[in-house]
Amino acid sequence: MKKFTIAIHGGAGTISPSTMTPQKETAYKQALQAALTAGYKVLEAKGSALEAVTHAVIELENTPLFNAGRGSVFTYDGKHEMDASVMNGKNGLAGAVAGVRNVKNPVLLANAVMEHTDFVFLHGSGAEELARVQQLTFCDDQYFFDDFRYQQWQEVKGSDTTKLDHSNEKKFGTVGAVAKDIEGNLAAATSTGGMTNKRYSRIGDTPVIGAGTYANNSTCAVSCTGHGEYFIRSVVAYDIHCLMEYNGLSLKEACEKVVLDKLVKSGGEGGIIAIDQTGVPQLIFNSEGMYRGYYCCNEQPVTEIYR
């Protein structure tokens, strides 16, 4: 039994050594390590799992390497519309936002929905109004701009293609974290810019509680990344919880059943990170790679990219 643990992801997809330079790989690993450390420090100081996942996701949102916060992909209209959610396994409370613009850390806004309103899910201008009321930081469009994401958008701009891939390289750069704290509380958080060239205010699985994010102290905390439509239809995070709760599967069995069997059959590419009361994380994906890492109490942090 691990006293406390944090696990994170920075998206899954066709990520192979051939698409990576050593410099890029180092940069990704450093960013993952920084996020793990941010979450671990909270847990070490006896902070809550909820605070730990929030801190880790803020760190990932602040780097342009991932498709969340700064570095989010471009919509059909050349904007950044971000989705995020959090869930606290201790009391079953959750907060989520979709389609928010210019909010520096959407995960903090999802937290604010949970902490400061009677609601679970806000979108667009209403969610931004809450961000202003809560005095969260706003940034101009320039802050969110990343040239790589811009070039990705240029390739499909004006078409109806919603871009998941780039030069034969499928990437989902969503970020997420799950944690177990010293008191045995579990929590999950997920944040994304969604899919390049998304249109009509498309919303993916990331802010959908039960699809992209779920946490319950009696079973598990889960954060997902992948082709959102498949994850919504399969209610992925909640399905893992249900397999544990109703069928008595272990966390590993439940994650493998959903990600390596059910999602594969339905054509849903991506992966998940999950944790239960043992504190042993599962980081499982059916794509070529997933940016990921975990840091268990009194052990060395681990970061990995490829299968």
Q: Which of 14, 174, 196, 303 is catalytic?
A: 174
Report, in Å, the least distance between residue 176 CB and ligand ASP. Answer: 9
The b-or-e profile of 171-196 (16+ CB within 10 A means b, else e) is bbbbbbbbbbbbeebbbbbbbbbbbb
- In this structure, which amino acid lies at residue 287? S
Nearer to ligand ASP, 16 or 117 (CB): 16
The answer to whether 117 is a known catalytic residue is no
Report, in Å, the least distance between residue 31 CB and ligand ASP. Answer: 16
Rounded Cα gap, residues 291 and 185, in angstroms: 25
- Contacts to ligand ASP by CB under 6 A: 11, 67, 172-174, 192, 194-195, 204-206, 225-226, 228
Report, in Å, the least distance between residue 181 CB and ligand ASP. Answer: 25
Report, in Å, the least distance between residue 142 CB and ligand ASP. Answer: 23
Contacts of 223 (CB under 8 A, 6+ apart): 9, 53, 176, 177, 178, 188, 189, 190, 212, 213, 237, 272, 273, 274
Nearer to ligand ASP, 99 or 226 (CB): 226
Nearer to ligand ASP, 195 or 280 (CB): 195
Report, in Å, the least distance between residue 272 CB and ligand ASP. Answer: 10
Nearer to ligand ASP, 117 or 306 (CB): 306
Structure tokens at 288: 């070529």
Nearer to ligand ASP, 144 or 172 (CB): 172
Q: Could you give the residue numbers annotated as active site?
A: 174
